Amino acid sequence: MRAKRTGALAALALVGVAAAAVAWAALAPITVASRDELFAIPQGTWARRMAGDKVEILPATIRLTLGVNDVLLLRNLDDVPQVFGPALIMPGQSFRLPFEAASTYSFACTAHASGQLQVVVDPMPEPGWPTLRWRLRRWLR
């Protein structure tokens, strides 16, 4: 009888903790250490391409969120210039592109077979379900 009660209490406590975690994830303001979303071309990418390796550097669509990770930071660590997203970036150079409006942006991009890069900038999620969904997507990424 006592063991049954203890088990029920433990289950209740577990549900309470889970509910508190969900409430936190849905309502706590989103804070980040840096708003940069970094993509880097590793050294040797050009050489690998020349050797016939189909290296994909950037995803076809990049998703950013205003106020959270709304600065696209492209860094060329390779030994040759690269057209990376919208910019020609020299070896050792970075390109920092901030976004201030939620929208879908299209850039010509030779790093993609399609020649196009899409950047989707989402608005800062509202507290509640949108924030919870945003966190879940982030954790699952």
Site for other proteins in 102-121 (CB under 8 A): 105, 107-108, 110, 115
Count of alpha carbons within 13 Å of 115, Cβ hemisphere only? 0
Site for other proteins in 77-96 (CB under 8 A): 81, 83, 86-90, 93-96
Taking the least distance from each CB to other proteins, the nearer of 118 and 132 is 118
- Phi-psi category of residue 92: left, alpha or beta, with phi > 0 → left and psi -120 to 50 → alpha: left
Among 55, 58, 97, 124, indicate the residue that binds other proteins (CB under 8 A). Answer: 97
- Run of H or E including 129: helix 129-140
For residue 35, give the DSSP letter.
-
Q: Kindly list the residues in this chain that would bind other proteins in the complex (CB under 8 A).
A: 72, 81, 83, 86-90, 93-98, 100, 105, 107-108, 110, 115
